Structure 1
Amino acid sequence: MKIAFVYDVIYPYVKGGAEKRIYELSLRLAERGHEVHIFGMKYWEGPAVVEKNGIIYHGLCQPMNLYVKGRRSILQAIYYSVFLFFPLLKEKPDVIDCQAFPYFPLIPSWLASKVSKCSLFVTWHEVWGNYWYDYLGFFGIFGKFIEHFAVHLTKNPIAVSGSTVRKLTEMGVSEPIPIISIGIDSNMTNCKSSAGDSSDIIFAGRLIPEKNVDLFLRALSLVREKVPGIKAVVIGDGPERYTLEKLSYDLGLTENVVFTGFLSCHDEVIAAMKASKIFILPSIREGFGIVSIEAMACGLPVVTVRAPLNAAYDLIHEGRNGYIADLSPESLADSIMAALFERENMKESIVDSIKDYEWDVILKKLVLVYNQSGK
């Protein structure tokens, strides 16, 4: 099978859940004899088309900044989309798998699928709906309209989570919608932890408002009243870092919280997880929450929050692999305390809960969906 993945950013030049998912699936598809192409922006020197690890990369255009003033750039998405149609058409793939966001690449992908008579799949990591108004204010009406148009562009949607399935069905997409989630490689946990970097609670992610780290800090100040020596590590960087460090100071948490910034490699993040006791993800918006699965692979219970756009809470079975809190410092503090108290009793069920997220399991589901598709 000849498969074309369409996404503007490419792993490892940009490290995020969607691009890592494409990379891991592409590696395994190529190993099994499929011809895999990734169409993105050109992050490398030399020829525009290169092959690496059995994957054929197409650098369609020079990379542009993805974000302008904290929001995904519309100009960048349009710029990338302009270069997409003819290279896709030239390759004549059997399957085009286009990531839904940022929407504009869907148009040339759809046109190429019609001309070459191949199957077009649209992979949905998130569906925003009314959240567009929070993101863009009045202009959110345009984002919501484009999203609704994109939802009905193909009869082959793929969702990465149950939460995304629910959102798609609310927008009129007929079920069943296959769930092909983000996966993990359990061998990643073989790296060693450092006892000198041990902590009680760990967070890892981009420091942006949606991650809600300020809520975690307020909850931590309540936990400290019961556990004065509580230690937390916040791994990541972003526009909210200064504000969060100031809040930590104002709450008197400077002895309890360490902000590390981004670590140099993913193994360091895994090592830090293995040196902690629980993982915290208070995000109000997660397309899947792969970091939660990685934490569970390290044996950590996960504490997250109940929010309409937080798909990570679909991964949590309370009392078995973590806890779900309401969006208040008090509720989050209670869940943190419960996880700290029960974590030893949960170890076996935590490991059991991630078996279906191995990459090889995910791959089998994906190939089955491709083979069963209609054009």
Structure 2
Amino acid sequence: MMRVAFVSNVVFPFVKGGAEKRIHEIGTRLAANGHDITVYGRHFWDGPKETTHEGMTLRAVASETELYSDDRRSITEALDFAARSIPPLRRHLRANEHDVVVVSVFPYFPVLTTKLASLGTDIPLVTTWHEIWGDYWEEYLGYLAPFGKFTERLTARTPQHPIAVSGNTADRLATIGPERDDITIVPNGIDVDQIQTAPRPETSYDVLFAGRLIEHKNVDLLLDAFDKVAGSHDATLGVIGDGPQKSRLEAQRDALTHSDRVDFLGFLDDYEDVLGQMRAADVFASPSTREGFGLTFAEALAANCTVIAADHPDSAADEVIGDAGFLVKPNVDSLSNILGRTLNGAQPAQSPSKRAQQYDWDTVADQAEQAYQRAIDGS
């Protein structure tokens, strides 16, 4: 039996997001296999500061608070959580209550303080790297970008057992910190059965996008590309998601020749509503140029969509979809060309649903369990 401690300022399902969902899915499966699992986080749940949830112990080390400031993750919140986590972590680690502690890297500071809390013990620190931001810090933080880059590099160079969610992320991590051979790849996961049984919606779309409406997702390219082919294919496009570019993108939609074929659905609170839309769509298109993994690609594969993604060095889309989808240059002409072909029935070489099986949470949890055990063993 392993005694695993996860450190995450947000805890699923009380706050919904990819990194915290990964902890939940892996943690609950490890707990079901007889391991002792504790999650240190903010007190987002009702009831006492320490409680049990689906076989895991949840331990609040800080109170609930706002996570975002001006549509960006709050640096103050991250620093506050990191600082408040030190005393309880240090107390429980020194009492030898855990064999390994696992920290999601973003927002970085908890990695540094967890390492500080573990000093004087033999308990290994495992980190999970979802992506490497690099030059993206300039877009995200502006004049504060050097601070972001420094923090990312400092975190990467902290002694750890690093896990990356893709080979792309691992390669980028190796340029700022650990040796590439020391990085273990454990992908993000999906619940294949849940996706393939999600109820289909009353209103569906031929082409679907799902994701945050931010610049590097390149939804503007998708709108223009779709407009070029919509007339000759009698197709419709649904855009799921919200974000700072929503108003601008809606204005762009209104100027399209086939604007009546495009609907913005906003953020869908019920995850199964997103999955149902994927099941009902023929094509899932996301020309995003920055994806540390690309979870929506895996979900769309499981829904048996024909997936179209951007071929870009900052995206792991090629790893995720393999031969079960199509990669295009992130420009309107390339995207409209492949959209037209897929709407005419072009199929990828490999079955999308078959490809998706390797990302099922059961498989991912087994890989994570092996990685945590290797860290404990020192190998």
Trace 1:192-203 onto structure 2 (pairs within 5 A): 192-194=199-201, 196-203=202-209
Q: What is the deviation of 1:46?
A: 2.3
Displacement of 1:145: 1.2
1:14-59 deviation line (CA, Å, top 9, x unaligned): 2221111111001101001111111111112321111011111122
1:321 maps to a residue whose letter is A
Q: Report what 1:187 is aligned to.
A: 193
Question: In the TM superposition, what is the alpha-carbon distance from 1:334 to its structure 2 partner?
Answer: 1.5
In the alignment, which residue of structure 2 is the partner of 1:327?
A: 330
Q: Show CA shifts across 1:166-185 (max 9, x none).
A: 10122242132111111112
Q: Could you report, residue by residue, the CA deviation over 1:219-250 in whole angstroms, capped at 9, with x for unpaired residues?
A: 111122532x2101111222222211111001
Partner of 2:33: 32
CA contact (8 A) 1:233 1:260 kept: yes
Q: Which residue of 2 is the match for residue 285 of structure 1?
A: 290
Query: CA 1:129 to 1:334, structure 2 compared with 1: closer, same or farther past 3 Å?
Result: same
Cα distance between partner residues in 2 of 1:167 and 1:199: 36
Summarize deviations over 1:313-348 as a string: whole Å, max 9, x none.
Answer: 32122xx311112121111111222333345x4486
Find out whether 1:178 has 2:179 as its counterpart. no
Match status 1:365 vs 2:370: no
Paired with 2:327 and 2:348, the residues of 1 have a C-alpha distance of 15
Aligned to 1:249: 254
Alignment of 1:265-304 (within 5 A): 265-304=270-309
Matched, 1:136 2:119: no
> Is contact 1:121-1:154 (8 Å) kept?
no
Cα–Cα, structure 1 residues 347 and 233, in superposed 2: closer, same or farther, change >3 Å?
farther
Question: Partner of 1:9 in structure 2?
Answer: 10
Q: Which residue of 2 aligns with 1:210?
A: 216
* Pairing of 1:310-321 with structure 2 (within 5 A): 310-317=315-322, 320-321=323-324
Aligned residue for 1:116, secondary structure, equals coil
Instruction: Point out the more displaced range, 302-311 or 101-110.
Output: 302-311
Deviations 1:185-215 (A, max 9, x none): 2111212313x32311011122222322112
- SS of equivalent residue, structure 2 residue 243: coil
The reply to whether residue 221 of structure 1 matches residue 227 of structure 2 is yes
For residue 128 of structure 1, report the CA deviation from its aligned partner: 1.2
C-alpha distance in 2 between matches for 1:6 and 1:339: 43
Q: Distance in 2 between matches of 1:178 and 1:342?
A: 38
- In 1: Cα distance, 2:282 partner to 2:275 partner: 13
Stretches of structure 2 that go unaligned for 5 or more consecutive residues are none
User: Do the aligned residues in 1 keep the contact of 2:200 with 2:279 (CA within 8 Å)?
Assistant: yes
For 1:197 and 1:91, locate their aligned partners in 2 and report how far apart those are by CA, in whole Å. 52
Query: Residue deviations 1:79-98, cap 9 Å, x none?
Result: 11111112222333111111
Q: List structure 1 runs of 4+ shifted beyond 6 angstroms.
A: none
For residue 351 of structure 1, the aligned residue among 350, 353, 359 is: 353
- 2:126 corresponds to 1:121: yes
Structure 2 distance, partners of 1:61, 1:287, is 29
* Distance of 2:130 and 2:222 partners within structure 1: 25
For 2:63 and 2:177, locate their aligned partners in 1 and report how far apart those are by CA, in whole Å. Answer: 37
Query: What is the total number of aligned residue pairs between the two structures?
Result: 370
Task: Please state how far the C-alpha of 1:363 moved relative to its aligned partner.
Answer: 1.5
Match of residue 44 from structure 1? 45
Q: Is the Cα–Cα contact under 8 Å of residues 192 and 356 in structure 2 kept in the other structure? A: no
Residue in 2 that maps onto 1:22:
23
Letter of the structure 2 residue corresponding to residue 324 of structure 1: L
Contact 2:311 2:317 in 1 (8 A): no
Structure 1 window deviating more from structure 2 (199-208 vs 170-179): it is 170-179
Letter in 2 for 1:213: V
Q: Any conservation in 2 of the 1:122–1:154 contact (CA below 8 Å)?
A: no
Kindly indicate whether the alpha-carbon contact (under 8 Å) linking 1:322 and 1:339 is maintained by their aligned counterparts in 2.
Answer: no
Q: Which runs of 5+ in 1 are unaligned?
A: none
1:51 match: secondary structure: strand
TM-score (norm: length of structure 2): 0.92
Q: What is the rounded CA distance, in whole Å, between the counterparts of 1:140 and 1:279 in structure 2?
A: 33
Preserved contact between residue 124 and residue 164 of structure 1 (Cα < 8 Å): yes
Q: Does the CA-based 8 Å contact 2:307-2:321 persist in structure 1?
A: yes
Contact 2:15 2:44 in 1 (8 A): no
When residues 321 and 342 of structure 1 are mapped into structure 2, their CA distance, relative to the original with a 3 A threshold, is farther
Superposition pairs for residues 143-162 of structure 1, below 5 Å? 143-162=148-167
RMSD: 1.8
Counterpart-to-counterpart distance in 2, 1:210 and 1:38: 32
Matched, 1:338 2:341: yes
Distance 1:214 1:40 in 2: 37
Task: Classify the secondary structure of the residue corresponding to 1:285.
Answer: coil
Shift of 1:309: 2.6
